[in-house]
Structure formats: structure tokens, C-alpha cells
């Protein structure tokens, strides 16, 4: 399977490192408008860097395009790649608008290519385990769910995240992980209500903090925190707690870090201690590797992709409704 | 590749068989267990064939390798018989209960040109591999000392019968950590001082043990090998390392990747582990070393040296002094 990566920023780098552990996949091209970035990733594979994504999409010898560009460019490049008969893996969130998402699905189906949105949370071993526990019946029927996702404001490192018309903000960009996981696990949402500061923020680097309440069609209620209020020193983390009629299960990334490295570093003549947490996993279960591997397998075998595109579109719809609820300050039903 | 399980005395047989099922190209020949009730239940649970006598697995020419999970004192005979039948062997830790047995196992496998691997799955836990990498890269500077634990719950059964186990908590729980430290530092233990006792449970072997050791490269380490976790503890035990170096420190909790579950159906809280399955990763490597005819990733000598430290600990307790090798 021959792969071209479009976008060599944060997630592009994560994906590139995954391909090293997927023997059946070969990265043959990397594109980024910033030449240093595309060169850095292309060098990993000893391939040519491109500064124009369309030159990669054009190549006849490529089967799969991995779209890792910022959100506001997703629909454009997915549609271009699909039209060039390439299978497409695209970073979450699917698109900025529901209509764009629909067009992407249409383009993929018209050209008969596989198209998956990289909702990687579905491949995180702790979230897989959460579903196993629910299905085992150990906690009875799930009833009340709490999630947290947050850490440093990503706009500090990549400014585009701070612009609502480019990233969609923390709900669309980050909370969508939890939204997709919950809708995958508990089914459709009846109503959402959000309080947050999206519409009060002035500068792209201003912190964003949103609290969402959700009611599912089956009566489960959920509280979701989307937190971009941290600075560069804030540790990123996620939590999920599911309380049921017979018990409770919780997974907290902060409490499950197996390795903590503390290095003494000289900083302007002052000795400082830098703490580096790590949670290593083998490529067998490392979520990004597994996600890409399973997507490529579905391309290879022409089988159902692991994250159906309509699921991603639904998660996008719920996220957009959460934001709209904040704007109008009203609980809103999720209507397709 | 066809692999048989010899005995399910050791509970790790349960996870080994499930791991083997997940490895492509591996076929399970069956379980041989002289305790018929136990063996048949095991076979039924895992959907594999039951044999009363392990010789019946060894005489099957199509079997390539065996996983030995008998009580510690029975490892030697089973391993030597397997080697003579031209089967590659992976044997549960500790390799044996005496140095002599361990050496005979190593010799028999060498003479019959079969692999002998000792089951030290902790080497395959990604946090522990990463720990070794960080230390070997020199990120922590020179290592000064290490405080380690390998706690467990009291396993009961043959584990408390010295003629079958060779001892209690010390022989059961010293070898993992010693193996990780030897592997990381490429140095042997030269001095051991230990304290032990039967302090918690009414059993004929020790349930608590503290060991202080020094390696030839001057690094010192202590280990708590006690079966001190109560039955209500949320998991089976732990493997942890606190490491101090000249440029930094590191703490490693090999099984920290877990959530927590409270269930009214079991009436106590339980860790839900979601990290890698180290048994699976280890057995995959065992299969690979046979297929590609590579050096065993964990050798009989590794098993023997780890056992030697446990035996030095017993000698230290007996004599009340520091034992030097």
C-alpha cells in the first residue's frame, strides 16, 4: 500500500512515525507548504518532499492519501484526493460545516474510494476497555457519564487553532473525540446544552473553556469538559467516568502514567527539574498505529472501514449543535 | 508451529494459552496435566486437547515447542525430557529451585540443540523497555541506586509447599526484578543481604522478603518481594522501580496503565488494566526466535543468574550476614 501524507505538522508527524511500524505500508511522498516540515518527514522515508499537495494527489503510484492539514482545508483536499481515485484517511474533525462533510462523503462514494475520519479515541486501549466493561455488565446499565479533555491551548504552538473559522474551537477540534466515542457507545443524542466562553474570547491565544451537558435518546446523561485553558507547562489529559446501576468505571490519564522522568537541567545558571511523563505502548495496541493499520487493512481487503464516515458526520453535527447552543444560550435538539 | 503446554500448575498457563491463540501460525497441541480434574477443566476452558501424560505431547513428532508451567521443582525433569524429545522450551520462572537443576536444563537444551527461554515477561512491558532505553542512553547520568518492588497477593496451593516451590515470596518474586536489573546494567549481583519472615499468613513458607543487593558495577538496589497485598487489593500486585541517577531520577510503575472499577457484583474495587499484554509480546518473540533460529531473547543463563540471587537471599537470612558471590 503506497501512501502520500499531506500536511507535515503535529499530527502528520505522529502518523509518519506510525507508518514505520506498519510493514505493509510505504510512505512515498510527503507534502507541506512549509518546505522544512515536509523535508523533515520525507527524510524519515528517504522520499521526495513536496510543497504542493496537489502534486502528491496527482501521482499515479499512490493508493492512499493521509490528510493531516488544518481543519479548514480538510474538505478541499479530501474531495481532490477522492476525485483522483485515492483512498483517504483524514484527520478529525471531518470539516468545518455539516455541508462540507456531506460533500466529502459524496465525493468518496462517487469515486468508489474508502474514506475514513481518524477518530483515534476509538483505538485508545483504555476506551476500548471501557466499552468492554460496559458490555460485560459489571457496572450494570450505564446511566451518567463524565468526560474531560484538556491541557495547553494548542493555539500557543499552532496559531490557527485559535481562530474559530479555521479550527472550530475546542469543541469541534478536541471535544469531538469524546462526542464520537459517546455516540458510538451510547447511540444518538437527543439534546445538548453548552456554557462556554467561545463567543467572549478576543484573541486567538485566549483560553477556551466549555462545559457541555448531553442527553442521549436512551436516557443516558453526560457531562463533557473541553478545556483549552492551560499554558505550555500544563499537562494534557483525558478522563472518562461511567456510572451505572451496579457500579462505576473510570479511566484517568493523569493517574495511569507508568513512567515519569525527572531531569535536572541548567537554565540560566539555575538548576531546574523538568518532569516528563510517558505512557509507552507497543505498536500492536498503540492507538494511532492501530487506527492507520486497520484503515489500510480495510482498503486492502475492500471491507468496511473501522470508523464509518457517517458516524464522523454525526459527531460533527453534535459538536456544531453544542456550539450553536452556546451561541443562542438554549438547549438544542440534535436534528439531522 | 505446534506448541504444547506442559502442566497448568502455574496460573500463568491461562494467559499463555490465550496469547498463543492470538499468534498467527501457532497451533496448540494441547495441555498435559497429571491432575485430571484440573487439566480437563483447563482444556475445556480454552478449547484445547487434554493429555494426562506429558510424554504423549513429547512423543508427537509434529510438536515443535513446549511451554512448561509446572511447579518450580518439576521444571528440570520436564525441560530435560522435552529437550531430549527435540522440543524447544519456554519455562516458567524461576528456572528451577537449585543451581544444579538449572545448569542441567541449560546443558540438556544445548546438547539437543533446542532453544531454552525463561519466562520473564516483564522485559516485554513497554514501560520497562523504555526505562532500560532511557538508562542505557545515559539520560539519568550514572545510576546511583534503585528501590524496586514486586508485590503480590499470597498465591496459596503448591506455592507454599517448599518441596515443590523451593520457597515462598522470595523465590517467587525476586527473579523478575533481578532479571530486569541484570538486563539493563549488564552486570551481575555480587552482594546480597535479606530479611524475610512468615508475617502475614499462616503458611509454611515466607510471605515477606526484603532484599538489598549490590551489582559488580557498584550500583545498589533493594527489592520488596512480599506477598503483602491483601485479597481485597484492586489488582494482583505490582512491579515498580524508583531510580536515582547523577543527572535525574525516574519512577516506573510497569502496570500503571489501568482504570478503576467499582462493582456491586464483586463488592470491592478493581483495577482495569489496558496496557500491553506482555505475555503475548514475549511468546511472539519466543516463536520468532525458533522460526528465525535466533539466540533466545531470555536465556537459560539469565534464568540461572536470577535464581542465584534468590538463593543468596535465603542463605543471607539463614546466616544473618551479607552473602558475596
Tell me the pLDDT band of A290, cut-offs 50, 70 and 90.
very high
pLDDT digits (tens, 9 = 90+) for B140-179: 999 999 999 999 999 999 999 999 999 999 999 999 999 9
Q: Which three cell numbers stand for residue A73?
A: 482545508
Contact between B39 and B31 under an 8 Å Cβ cutoff? The reply is yes
Of all residues in chain B, what percent carry a pLDDT higher than 70?
A: 100
The whole-angstrom separation of Cα B227 and Cα B201 is: 9
User: Beta-carbon neighbour count of residue B324 at 10 Å?
Assistant: 10
What are the residues facing A265 on neighbouring strands?
Answer: A272
Work out the pLDDT band at A278, boundaries 50, 70, 90.
Answer: very high
For A94-129, the DSSP string reads: --SSHHHHHHHHHHHHHTT--EEEE-GGGG-HHHHH
pTM reported for the whole predicted model: 0.93
pLDDT at A233: 84
Detail the DSSP E strand segments found in A108-246. 115-118, 142-152, 189-196, 208-216, 221-230, 237-244
Contact A246 B263 (CB under 8 A): yes
Q: What is the pLDDT of residues B62-103, one digit of tens each?
A: 999 999 999 999 999 999 999 999 999 999 999 999 999 999
Q: What is the pLDDT of residues A128-180, one digit of tens each?
A: 999 999 999 999 999 999 999 999 999 988 999 999 999 999 999 999 999 99
Query: Residue A266: its pLDDT value, please?
Result: 66
Q: What is the pLDDT of residues A292-331, one digit of tens each?
A: 999 999 999 999 999 999 999 999 999 999 999 999 999 9
Pick B263's closest partner by Cβ from A125, A126, A139: A139
- Range with lowest mean pLDDT among A29-33, A205-209, B64-68, B257-261: A205-209
Determine the pLDDT at residue A265.
Answer: 76
Burial label for B188, CB within 10 Å (0-12, 13-18, 19+), is middle
Of B248, B251, B259, the CB nearest to A249: B259
Q: Name the average pLDDT for chain B.
A: 97
Nearest to A124 by CA among A12, A291, A258, A260: A291
Mutate to test the interface with A, among B257, B265, B271 (most CBs of A within 10 A): B257
- Chain A CB contacts of B264 under 8 Å are 140, 246-247
Quick check: A267 pLDDT over 70?
no
Give the residue on B whose Cα is nearest the Cα of A139. Answer: B263
SS3 assignment, position A46: coil
Q: Is the pLDDT of residue B51 over 70?
A: yes
Nearest to A77 by CA among A148, A145, A6: A6
Partnered with residue A30 across adjacent β-strands are A5, A49
Cell 500491553 belongs to: B276
pLDDT digits (tens, 9 = 90+) for A50-67: 999 999 999 999 999 999
Task: Provide the shortest C-alpha distance from residue A179 to chain B (in Å).
Answer: 20
* Residue A319: Cβ-neighbour burial (10 angstroms; 0-12, 13-18, 19+): buried
**% of residues, chain B, pLDDT over 90:** 98
Question: pLDDT tens, A83-112?
Answer: 999 999 999 999 999 999 999 999 999 999
Q: Is the per-residue pLDDT at A269 higher than 70?
A: no
A232: buried, middle or exposed (CB in 10 Å: 19+, 13-18, 0-12)? exposed
With contact defined as beta carbons under 8 Å apart, do B129 and B239 qualify? no
CB B71 within 8 A of CB B155: no
The residues of A whose Cβ lies within 8 A of any Cβ of B are 125-126, 128-130, 133, 137-140, 246-252, 255-264, 273, 278-282, 284-285
Contact A248 B281 (CB under 8 A): no
Which contacts qualify for A130-135: CB closer than 8 Å, 24 or more apart? A130/A185, A130/A240, A130/A242, A130/A249, A130/A251, A130/B259, A131/A185, A133/A242, A133/A249, A133/B261, A133/B272, A134/A185, A134/A242, A134/A244, A134/A249
Residues of B in contact with A273 (CB under 8 A): 248
Per-residue cell: A91: 484527520
Kindly report, residue by residue over A185-195, the tens digit of the pLDDT: 999 999 999 99
**Residue A268 binned pLDDT confidence (cut-offs 50, 70, 90):** low
DSSP assigned state of A35: H
**In this predicted structure, what is the pLDDT of residue A232?**
84
C-alpha span between A101 and A316 (Å, rounded)? 8
Q: Which of A251, A278, A282 lies at the smallest CB-CB distance from B259?
A: A251
Listed in order, strand segments (DSSP E) in A47-196 are 49-50, 64-67, 87-91, 115-118, 142-152, 189-196
The confidence band for B267, taking pLDDT boundaries of 50, 70 and 90, is confident
* pLDDT for position A54: 97
**How far apart, in whole angstroms, are the C-alpha atoms of residue A69 and residue A55?**
15
Cβ <8 Å between A252 and B126: no
Give me the residues paired with residue B210 across strands. Answer: B195, B224
Query: A93 preceded by cis ω (within 30°)?
Result: yes
C-alpha closest to that of A281 among A305, A300, A262, A253: A253
Nearest CB partner across the interface for B272, out of A133, A263, A280: A133
User: Number of C-alpha atoms within 13 angstroms, CB side, residue B112?
Assistant: 20
- Measure CB to CB from residue A258 to each of B127, B134, B249 and give the nearest one: B127
pLDDT tens-digit readout, B180-198: 999 999 999 999 999 999 9
Contact across the interface for B127 and A259, Cβ inside 8 Å:
yes
Amino acid at each position: 500500500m503506497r501512501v502520500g501524507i499531506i500536511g507535515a505538522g503535529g499530527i502528520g508527524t505522529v502518523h509518519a512515525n506510525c507508518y514505520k511500524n506498519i510493514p505493509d505500508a510505504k510512505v512515498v511522498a510527503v507534502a507541506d507548504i512549509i518546505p522544512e516540515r515536509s523535508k523533515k518527514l520525507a527524510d524519515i522515508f528517504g522520499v521526495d518532499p513536496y510543497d504542493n499537495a496537489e502534486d502528491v494527489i496527482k501521482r499515479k503510484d499512490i493508493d492512499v492519501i493521509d490528510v493531516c492539514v488544518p481543519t479548514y482545508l480538510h474538505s478541499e483536499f479530501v474531495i481532490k484526493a477522492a476525485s483522483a481515485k485515492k483512498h483517504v484517511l483524514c484527520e478529525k474533525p471531518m470539516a468545518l460545516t455539516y455541508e462540507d462533510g456531506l460533500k466529502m462523503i459524496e465525493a468518496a462514494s462517487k469515486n468508489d474510494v474508502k474514506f475514513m475520519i481518524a477518530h483515534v479515541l476509538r483505538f485508545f486501549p483504555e476506551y476500548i476497555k471501557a466499552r468492554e466493561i460496559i458490555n460485560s455488565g459489571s457496572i450494570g446499565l450505564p446511566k451518567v457519564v463524565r468526560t474531560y479533555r484538556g491541557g495547553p491551548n494548542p493555539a500557543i504552538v499552532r496559531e490557527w487553532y485559535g481562530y474559530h473559522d479555521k479550527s472550530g474551537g475546542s469543541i469541534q477540534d478536541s471535544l469531538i473525540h469524546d462526542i464520537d466515542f459517546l455516540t458510538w457507545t451510547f447511540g444518538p443524542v437527543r439534546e445538548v446544552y453548552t456554557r462556554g466562553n467561545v463567543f467572549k474570547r478576543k484573541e486567538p491565544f485566549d483560553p477556551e473553556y466549555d462545559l457541555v451537558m448531553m442527553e442521549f435518546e436512551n436516557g443516558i446523561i453526560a457531562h463533557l469538559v473541553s478545556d483549552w485553558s492551560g499554558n505550555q507547562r500544563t499537562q494534557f489529559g483525558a478522563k472518562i467516568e461511567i456510572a451505572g446501576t451496579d457500579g462505576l468505571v473510570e479511566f484517568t490519564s493523569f493517574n495511569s502514567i507508568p513512567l515519569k522522568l525527572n531531569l535536572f537541567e541548567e537554565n540560566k545558571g539555575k538548576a531546574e527539574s523538568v518532569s516528563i511523563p510517558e505512557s509507552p505502548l507497543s505498536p500492536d495496541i498503540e492507538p494511532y498505529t492501530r487506527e492507520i493499520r486497520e484503515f489500510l487493512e480495510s482498503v486492502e481487503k475492500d471491507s468496511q472501514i473501522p470508523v464509518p464516515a457517517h458516524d464522523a458526520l454525526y459527531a460533527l453535527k453534535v459538536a456544531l449543535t453544542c456550539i450553536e447552543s452556546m451561541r443562542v444560550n438554549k438547549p438544542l435538539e440534535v436534528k439531522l | 508451529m505446534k506448541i504444547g503446554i506442559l502442566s497448568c500448575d502455574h496460573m500463568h498457563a491461562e494467559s499463555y494459552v490465550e496469547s498463543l491463540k492470538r499468534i498467527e501460525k501457532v497451533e496448540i497441541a494441547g495441555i498435559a496435566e497429571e491432575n485430571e480434574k484440573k487439566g480437563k477443566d483447563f482444556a475445556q476452558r480454552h478449547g484445547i486437547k487434554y493429555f494426562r501424560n506429558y510424554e504423549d505431547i513429547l512423543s508427537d513428532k509434529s510438536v515443535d515447542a513446549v511451554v512448561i508451567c509446572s511447579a518450580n521443582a518439576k521444571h528440570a525433569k520436564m525441560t530435560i525430557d522435552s529437550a531430549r524429545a527435540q522440543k524447544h522450551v519456554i519455562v516458567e520462572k524461576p528456572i528451577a529451585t537449585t543451581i544444579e537443576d538449572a545448569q542441567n536444563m541449560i546443558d540438556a537444551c544445548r546438547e539437543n540443540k533446542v532453544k531454552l527461554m525463561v519466562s520473564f515477561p516483564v522485559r516485554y512491558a513497554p514501560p520497562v523497555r523504555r526505562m532500560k532505553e532511557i538508562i542505557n542512553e545515559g539520560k539519568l547520568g550514572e545510576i546511583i541506586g534503585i528501590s524496586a518492588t514486586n508485590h503480590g497477593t499470597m498465591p496459596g496451593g503448591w506455592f507454599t509447599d517448599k518441596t515443590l516451590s523451593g520457597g515462598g515470596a522470595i523465590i517467587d518474586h525476586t527473579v523478575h526484578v533481578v532479571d530486569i536489573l541484570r538486563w539493563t546494567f549488564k552486570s551481575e549481583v555480587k552482594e546480597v543481604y535479606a530479611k524475610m519472615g512468615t508475617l502475614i499468613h499462616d503458611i509454611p513458607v515466607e510471605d515477606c522478603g526484603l532484599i538489598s543487593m549490590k551489582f559488580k558495577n557498584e550500583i545498589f538496589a533493594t527489592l520488596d518481594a512480599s506477598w503483602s497485598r491483601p485479597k481485597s487489593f484492586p489488582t494482583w500486585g505490582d512491579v515498580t522501580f524508583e531510580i536515582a541517577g547523577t543527572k535525574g531520577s525516574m519512577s516506573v510503575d510497569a502496570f500503571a496503565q489501568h482504570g478503576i472499577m467499582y462493582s456491586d457484583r464483586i463488592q470491592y474495587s478493581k483495577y482495569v488494566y489496558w496496557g500491553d499484554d506482555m505475555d503475548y509480546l514475549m511468546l511472539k518473540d519466543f516463536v520468532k526466535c525458533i522460526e528465525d533460529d535466533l539466540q533466545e531473547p531470555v536465556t537459560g543463563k539469565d534464568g540461572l543468574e536470577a535464581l542465584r540471587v534468590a538463593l543468596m537471599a535465603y542463605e543471607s537470612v539463614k546466616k544473618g550476614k551479607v552473602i558475596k558471590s
